[in-house]
Structure formats: C-alpha cells, structure tokens
Chains A and B, each alone.
Chain A
Amino acid sequence: MAAKRTPEIANISKDELLKFYRDMLLIRRFEEKAGQLYGMGLIGGFCHLYIGQEAVVVGLEAAAEEGDKRITSYRDHGHMLACGMDAGGVMAELTGRIGGYSKGKGGSMHMFSREKHFYGGHGIVGAQVPLGAGLAFADKYLGNDRVTFTYFGDGAANQGQVYETYNMAQLWNLPVVFVIENNQYAMGTSVARSTKSPSLWERGAAYGIKGEAVDGMDVLAVKAAGEKAVAACRAGDGPYILEMNTYRYRGHSMSDPAKYRTREEVQKMRDEKDPIERVRDLLLTGGHATDDDLKAIDKDIKAIVNESAEFAKESPEPDLSELWTDIYA
C-alpha cells in the first residue's frame, strides 16, 4: 500500500475536521454494535463490516453536493451513514424489522434511500458498476448537473462487466466517479494472489479514463481526490477512477475467521494507519480540540448508536402480509 501522510492540511477548517472525526466514528461504533448484535443472534445471514475503511466514504461525501448519487456493493452500512441516512433505519434493517429502510425485506446488503440518493446495496459482486453508470446516464440524459459515486472493491475489479462499463462510460462521457475500494482482500484472496497488475486504477487507461491512486486511510487526501474527480465529471470530462487504498480490519463477513492474513498485519495497520486516529491526532496536535471535546463527541456517538440498536430491537418484525407486497409497482 502506498499510503503516505498528507503533509499539510490546507483549506480544512476545524469544523470540517471535527465533522470527519464524528462521521468516521459513527460508522466505526455502528459497525462494532452491529457485530455485537450479530453475535447475539439479532442480525442474521451476511453482515459485512466497514471498520477500517471509514475515511473513504466520509472523505468522498465531503466532495459531494446535494443530489449527487451513490451506489455500492453489499459492504454498505458506512456509505449509508455517511450520506446521512438514519442509523436507526439502517440498524433495524439489519435486524429485519419493519422500521428498517426496506421494511426488513432487504437486509444488510439491500437498502436504498431516494431521499439521500443512495441506490443500494447490491449483492452480486460488480453488478453495481453498470448500474452506477446507468444512474449517471440518466443524469446526463435529463440534463442534471449531478455526479454518481460508484463504489466497488478490488475483488469486483476483476469482473468483466466493470470493463464493459468503463468502455461505455468513457464512450458516452458519463459523469461517474468509479471508486475502487481496494481493501487488499477479495474475501480471502489478496490482490497479489488475484492479479498481476496490482495497480487497479491504471486499467482505466485502456479505455482512456483518467484516474489515480489515493491513500484511502487519509480522509483529507480522499476528499481532495474526490473534489478533483467530481470537478472533472461536472465539467463533462467524466468518468474518473479513484483507487482508494484502504484496509478492512474485520473479516470479509461475520463468518470469516480471516486466516489468510496475520494478526500482526491487522494490528500494524490499526496502529499506523487508522483513519480515525489520524484525524484525532490532527485535532489534538493542531489545538483544534481538547481531549474533553473529543470525549464529548464519543459520548454523543455512543448514544446515537445505542439508540439505533434499541430501535432495531424494539421495532416489530414486518407484518406477515408484507410477504406479498412490493413485488409489482
């Protein structure tokens, strides 16, 4: 991983730094809570946690404007929280309750919010890539000056439909930012074991698509790259590829014992690259916040997450009649 510290924090206000801290912390605490609820049997099936990757969505949301769209894979809780969806609604979907975003019918991998322009939540690796280009196609067709963030992982980057989409997105100049969240492992297969061309963003060059690799553990670097990509797309110069080098601390899903990497590797990443610690350092060393200020934020976040868990436990299961609704519009 080519992660390096962003040398200066130009054009970042104290408030923005605090927001980054808060938003990333919300995702982390939420995911930890989801892990607990899974262990308690309140969440079933697949549950893919985003812990470690928080800087990617938080940094890119800082580059987005109202009306911009986002779509991602099944590792989607972080994306939803980052774009402002309600933690209670997400958690209640995880527990399969009527208060969830999909009334309990979608589950961890399938949530949507028209209001927040979040288009899922897709369970087939790579399928969200043409879908995301399609969202951008619609914006271009309708003359909307909006951009779509299409997230996918290093695993999906080997799917054929990604390249079919690259070809058409560039052919039609679609306003789409392809965000490769390279967390180094496609389930249990490291990038080194799945491809001889480890620089995934460079594959866009074959289609004439501009792009770059970004330290995805550095929220400021992510935001800066996101702004550049969004500006290109809004200027009619899309698409754009951002390869976010990041790391997931947890297994692929809850049932993954992660035997394919060492405990030391994960610990080293946590110690040296943690995106939240990095912002915490900046806030404290820059004199933007005190320990007490950050503790107060921690407390707030804890309260939000606990509340979401309570809601997710108390919200009833969907009425049995819901089995037969929403099949046809």
Chain B
Amino acid sequence: MATEILMPALSPTMEEGTLAKWLVKEGDSVTSGQIIAEIETDKATMEFEAVDEGTVGKILVTEGTAGVKVNTPIAVLVEDGEEVSDGQNRTEKSEDVGGEKPGVKEADKSLPKDLPAAAAPQAAPPAAPTMAREPDWPEGTEMKTQTVREALRDAMAEEMRRDETVYLMGEEVGEYQGAYKISQGLLDEFGAKRVVDTPITEHGFAGIAVGSAFAGLRPLVEFMTFNFAMQAIDHIINSAAKTLYMSGGQMGCPIVFRGPNGAAARVGAQHSQDYAAWYAQIPGLKVVMPYSAADAKGLLKTAIRDNNPVIFLENEILYGRSFEVPVMDDFTVPFGKAKIWREGTDVTIVSFGIGMTYALEAAEKLAQDGISAEVIDLRTIRPMDTDAIIQSVKKTNRCVTVEEGWPQGSVGNYISSVLMQQAFDYLDAPVINLTGKDVPMPYAANLEKLALITTAEVIEAVKQVTYR
C-alpha cells in the first residue's frame, strides 16, 4: 500500500519550510532511517529520514520549493512492484493534516513563520497605526523588513563592534550558531574569545559571567530558554541585582541575561513559563520584553549599554515574525517608555511581548464591532511606564491587561493596584487581568490551547469592562 511522506515539523514552532534538496529520485528504493531529503527552515537545514521502507513512487514537491506547510504530502512511497496512480498524489487524508488551518493559504507567503496555529490567520502586524508619544525614530526614516531573530542578532553584533568588553556566553551560541539561531554569524565575526560556548551548566556560567561583570566586562548571557535560568537564579538575583546596593554603590554589574521566555508550542510544563512577573519584582534588575523587531533591536542595544543587570525576555514564537525596522546607524529604544500601538477611546488594553499579538488582534476585531481600543505595549516591565497607562485610562476609563504568565502576583495585578491608587476616580469598571490559566502547561494540544490566553478572551474581557 502506498504511504504518503509528509513535510515534517522539525521544531515545536515550525509551520512551514523549504524543501531544499531531494537525496532520492522516483524509482529509488529506500530503507527506514535513510536520509531522503534536506529541509530548510529559517533556523537551520536539517536532514529528513525515511520512516518506512519502500520505493519512491512519486515526488510531489520538487526541490527548491519554499513555504511548504508542515504535513503537506511531499512524496509517495510504494511497496515494491506497486504503481502510483494519479489519485494517490493527494489522498483524502491530506485534507485532515495538510490543510487543517483555515485561512492559511499556500499563496499567503507574507505570513510570518513560526506562528501558533490559533494566531496564524490574523497574525500580520497592523500597518503601523503607531502613536507613540514621541516617535522612536525620525519621520521619513528608511525602513526595512526584518525578523525579530535578525534584529536581535544585529543588535548584538552592533554593540560588540562598538565595545570590546561586550561578549556573548551561553550554550550553543558559537559553533552551533545559537540554539534558536539568534547568534548566527557572530562566532565568525568576533571569534571564540567573544562568543563563548559553555558546557550545560547554567548556575556556573551565570556566576562566571556576573564575576566578569564585576571586573569590567559587559557579558551578554544567553539562556537557551529562561526555564533553565532557574538553575542560575541565585546569581541573577543575589549576585547580580543586589551587589550595587550591598557595596554602597561601589560595584555594579552591567550584564544582560537574554533568551526565549514563555510558552513555545507543545513543549510541556517545564519548558513553558513566563518569568516577567518573577523578575519584575526584583529591585536592582531591569526587565525588558519586546514584541516587535524594532523594539527587540533598540531595546537590546540599550540593555547592553545599561550599567545594571537586565533581564531580556524574548519569545520563540516571535523570533520568526517580521516587522519594519528603521535603517539607522545607531537605533536604540529607551527603557521605561511604553509604545502606544493603537489609539482608542473606549478601553485601554495593556500588554507586552507575545501578549501584544492577542491585544492587537482583539483591537482589530473590536473596531469592527465599534469598540475603540487603545493598545499599549509596555516594552519594559521594570521600570514600568505607568504614566502611559494612567493617562490612557483617564481617557478610556477601562482597562484590560494581557499577559501569558500566571494570575497570582501577575504584572497585571500590579497595574491594577497602580490604577486603583492613581486613577481610581477615572475607572468605570473593574480592571480585568487576563493571564495564562493557573495550571502547569499541559502537553495535549487541546489542553495547551485552553491554558494559553486567546484573542477571544481579550475580546470577551473588553466587552465585559465596556458593558457590551
């Protein structure tokens, strides 16, 4: 019986890829485990092995084809002697697997990669309804489209060129080019002295990096994910954040701890956690969580120049998304300044990082229902631009906060308290803090979806505070 070979997902967040090369041709017999093709994603090229044995009956996707969705049939494997009929080129099965995402069409090449299924259809960022109080870059600046991944790499490279004491340390940052390919090319440019591969030893290398910052270097520490930074959290908090104070101002710690934070997709409880609220509590730390590529770049450059320890929370799902980034010699974004992505009058939606995806999608849909939402991206959680929130709420009188972390002790809880103390008389409804559900992240796809925040929940919360 013929078996379809499907486009594989080579990472938890991969949605599509390029079929770079076929290593077999029609008529070849293959054995299980044999490498039959090379698949390229925006992160890496990977070899693809046959699972079953048989003869390659038909190649359905020619090599060099880009944007091949995961689970699309790419070839048909037949048992020896079996013929391939035209009907088997696309069996009815492909409808269930390949085309299960309504709204995502083959032709839609402009869609950003690496999107979670729920967010994919509406994911393109809104066409810059930007109304930051002061623009982040001068009007008329040339723009280019870049992924968050590229923006982060450029920020590191630019700062490493600018300052010899900046170095990158972490697992797989050098020869592997970054577990998520953020440090791609840096080893080649800066060498092994400044792009330091470490053993898998977060507690130890975080401590070494902090010590080196005491002695005059400016380390950039990459955690493969922030989940692993829990092994190192003593050094982040006790050694990095507190030393300036404990030394009466004598000895600071200029260091950036960066890496992906929050849920990726289907990686289970120990690999899916948002640490924004954890680190936001610590005096001595600055906490940054960018959403767009421009902010990722501008804020990372600011973080590297800052003389304090900075927690820089990235997001794996956002890495592959594209945004407009200003083409400037030295583009930085200051800490403590929120960005108003969308002006509105009926409700203020405050979010940051991946939460902005849902906030912006919700605002778009709410607009269709005649509800005008103002969407604020905090960008830095600490210091927090509470002024921007208060000013907005004085106008809209309602507020919904959106974050991926857990409900108790959330960033939204703090915002609620600030609003009660400083804008109580302006509130026409209780503030709603939308968060991830109060459970460890489940693996099952349906449960994971339920645990995460959704655009629908944001819309529902806005309707609640606006009494619609």
Contacts and interface: CB of A to CB of B under 8 A. Distances in A.
Interface in B210-250: 210-217, 234-235, 238-239, 243-250
Given A129-B207, A326-B245, A123 B167 contact: no
B249 A167 contact: no
Nearest to B213: A134
B203 A130 contact: yes
B130 interface: no
A41 B117 CA distance: 64
Nearest to B196: A172
B204 A165 contact: yes
A111 B245 CA distance: 11
Nearest to A161: B203
Interface string A58-74: 00000000000101000
B207 A102 contact: no
A289 to B, nearest CB: 38
A329 interface: yes
Interface residues of A, number: 46
Contacts of B209: 134
A269 interface: no
Contacts of B243: 112, 120
Interface stretch (A138-146, A218-226, A230-238): A138-146
B215 A326 contact: no
A138 to B, nearest CB: 4
A60 B235 CA distance: 27
B224 to A, nearest CB: 16
B245 A327 contact: yes
A124 interface: yes
Contact of A325 (B239, B249, B251, B254): B249
B244 A328 contact: yes
A131 B193 contact: no
A327 B201 contact: no
Nearest to B199: A167
Contact of A164 (B203, B216, B234): B203
A326 B208 contact: no
B284 A134 contact: no
A106 B246 contact: yes
Contacts of B198: 168
A171 interface: yes
B251 A114 contact: yes
Interface string A297-328: 00000000000000000000000000001111
B54 to A, nearest CB: 47
Chain A at the B interface: SS class: mixed
Interface in B269-299: 283-284, 286
A138 B212 contact: yes
B239 A326 contact: no
A119 interface: yes
A137 B198 CA distance: 13
A252 interface: no
B252 interface: yes
Nearest to A129: B207
A6 B201 CA distance: 40
Contacts of B71: none
A167 B243 CA distance: 26
B152 interface: no
A329 B215 contact: no
B307 interface: yes
B204 A127 contact: no
A134 B212 contact: yes
B212 A103 contact: no
B207 A161 contact: yes
B248 A130 contact: no
Interface string A88-127: 0000000000001111111000111110000111111001
A160 interface: yes
B331 interface: no
The 10 closest A-B pairs by CB, nearest first: A134-B211, A130-B207, A164-B204, A138-B215, A103-B248, A131-B211, A102-B248, A329-B307, A326-B249, A110-B246
6 contacts: A129-B207, A134-B208, A137-B211, A138-B211, A167-B201, A327-B245
